[in-house]
Structure 1
Amino acid sequence: MTGIQLTEVSKSYGRRRVLDRVTLDVGNGVLGLLGPNGAGKTTLLRVLATVAGADAGRVELLGRDARDPLERVAIRHRLGYVPQEIGFPRGFTAFEYVDYVGILKEMTDRRARHDEVRRVLEAVGLTTVARRRVWRLSGGMKRRLIIAQALLGDPRLLILDEPTDGLDPEQRLRLRDTISALAEDRCVVVSTHQTEDVAAFCPRVVVLHEGSVRFDGDPRLLAAAATGRVWRSDQRDPGARLAWRTGDGGVRQIGSPPAGATLVEPSLEDGYLLLVGDCARAVKATR
């Protein structure tokens, strides 16, 4: 079953169009969503999570029409959502918080719900702190707790906004493994600023810029788009659009290399930065 079908979806806040005729067809697997701040990523995820409605276009999730109230309820029963901003009721333990979300999801069998709460807490590595008050948890633990609630009920569609934010390297690797395993038989959308996360476990990447889809495909193709435009030298070159000094003291640069430059293999981040820069200049040229 197709998880997501968006057709010419647009969304505005006041006079500002945040999503501009976005069309996507997403099945099972992990889709990585990249874009600069203000690109429309969070708004797109809110539409996918049925938190916000589209102004125009068609939104179908798990084969159901998100505009229909009854269909929307059915979607939410099979949806897991991790928002960018996290808020917790005061005084709850980690277990009580996830249990509370289970009640909101209409999981009425207390014993079965508690078994499910224990399952998702174990999945994110929080079993040992299940009885600890949420306010006493570290930032990384709180992030994992919000991921745990999204896994309740074995959802068919997972919408994750910056899920690895605040996690240490070991926790990020563990979460990548968890998401990859979940995506074998469901649709997962991950918005992130971490290009290495996309390269590590997303077979497909979408780049949003100015509310429009600028790239949709294999991350390797996005990296390959920077071939011949990434080089290393001792000093910054005038033709470099971006340059930074690496740990070994050399300068990695992207843009228009000078004659005889030492070209290096491009990364996903290189391709993404070049694409966003080209898009930004194209937008300015039309204004």
Structure 2
Amino acid sequence: MLQIRSLSKTYANGVQALKDVSLDIPRGMFGLLGPNGAGKSTLMRTIATLQDPDSGSITLDGLDVLAHKEQARKRLGYLPQDFGVYPKVSAEAMLDHLAVLKGITARGERRELVQALLQQVNLWNVRKRKLGTFSGGMRQRFGIAQALIGQPSLIIVDEPTAGLDPEERNRFLNLLAEIGENTVVILSTHIVEDVTDLCPRMAIIAAGQVRLAGEPREAIRSLEGRVWRKRVEKEELDRLVHEHAVLSTRLVAGKPVVHVLADANPGEGFDAVPASLEDVYFGELRRAALASTPAKAA
């Protein structure tokens, strides 16, 4: 269990990246949803002991992470959003080197570990290839392999599927799901579908604050019967945005299709549709934006 209590962080430029963040994250896949700039990466780096918060606490299975960083690092694996590799080093050699850095110095133990990890992430057949020749998905799977060194009790992955083609994305997400059966895995992303498919628990963060935390299916259930869809002309969009709580707009065959949140049918041409986690997500972002907009003077 990972417990985060009242975590806050303000950078030197005055940006408050985290505002009193508290979360309980159990074993399994946990989705952290939020747009770019929401504070997700700041939270991930803080949990990974790469930066200090201004206030608050983080506890991993009873260990004070902020007070005992070296011990915490032995228990966690981290795949950051920008994961660099030495392009001229083979996957096998690089993983062996990283295992040494993680404290696994016995050559035989290290050899067995590297072999097992490369097989687990389906890179054994390319273990001699230089990392610079890997595709994006292969690099991400290598990143997971290095994060698994030392059998960590917490894995943190930050925007791991950005830029992956559909096949590599599915392969990577399946790998994460397998890992999440026995480990706390935090999946930080702005891709709603990744969380819908994989995570039994989640949180939505916006402007540095937790807007919602719980089970995706419960969050979706809270909007059932309140989401309406209409295909409109582009000229209608501005009026709809002013008159209704528009959750999302997307072009379908060249025409905008809007999702609106309302307790009753908002008007002619609207059809009720099943709620989705995307509707929940955009609804929370809308509320966060409204909360941060100063009220106009009368």
TM-score (norm 1): 0.91
| Contact 2:231 2:255 (8 Å CA) reproduced | no
- Root-mean-square deviation (CA, aligned residues, Å) is 2.1
Query: What does residue 61 of structure 1 align with?
Result: 60
Higher mean C-alpha deviation, range 71-80 or range 245-254: 245-254
Helix, strand or coil at the partner of 1:251: strand
Deviates more, 1:218-227 or 1:16-25: 218-227
Q: How does 1:39-78 map to 2 (within 5 A)?
A: 39-68=38-67, 71-78=68-75
Contact 1:230 1:270 in 2 (8 A): no
1:159 and 1:12 map into 2 onto residues whose CA distance is 22
- Name the residue aligned to 1:38: 37
Kindly provide the CA deviation profile for residues 198-246 of structure 1, in whole angstroms up to 9, marking residues without a partner as x. Answer: 0001011101111110000111233334442331335455325332133
Partner of 2:213: 216
Give the Cα separation in 1 of the matches to 2:294 and 2:272. Answer: 29
Deviation digits for residues 41-98 of structure 1 (CA, Å, limit 9, x no counterpart): 0000011111111111112123211222xx3212111211000111113421111111
Q: Does structure 1 residue 232 correspond to structure 2 residue 230?
A: yes
Range moving further from structure 2, 39-48 or 224-233: 224-233
Q: Is the 8 A contact 1:147 1:163 kept in 2?
A: no
Q: Measured at CA, do residues 201 and 248 of structure 1 come closer, stay the same or move farther in structure 2, by a change above 3 Å?
A: farther
1:11/1:18 contact within 8 Å kept: yes
Structure-2 residue corresponding to 1:207? 204
Distance 1:81 1:248, change over 3 A: same
Find the counterpart in structure 1 of residue 85 from structure 2. Answer: 88
Equivalent residues in 2 for 1:159-174, closer than 5 Å? 159-174=156-171
5+ residue gaps, structure 1, are none
Change (3 A) 1:90 1:184: closer
Q: Percent identity of the aligned residues?
A: 36
> Cα–Cα, structure 1 residues 195 and 247, in superposed 2: closer, same or farther, change >3 Å?
farther
Query: Residue 9 of structure 1 contacts residue 56 of structure 1 at CA under 8 Å; is this kept in 2?
Result: yes
Aligned with 1:141 (options 138, 143, 146): 138
- State whether residues 239 and 258 of structure 1, in contact with CA within 8 Å, keep that contact through their aligned partners in structure 2: no
Q: Cα 1:246–1:22, aligned 2, differ >3 Å: closer, same or farther?
A: same
1:246 matches 2:240: no
Letter in 1 for 2:103: E
TM-score where L is the length of structure 2:
0.88
* Pairs aligned (count): 283
User: Structure 1 residues 251 and 90, CA, compared in 2 at 3 Å: closer, same or farther?
Assistant: closer
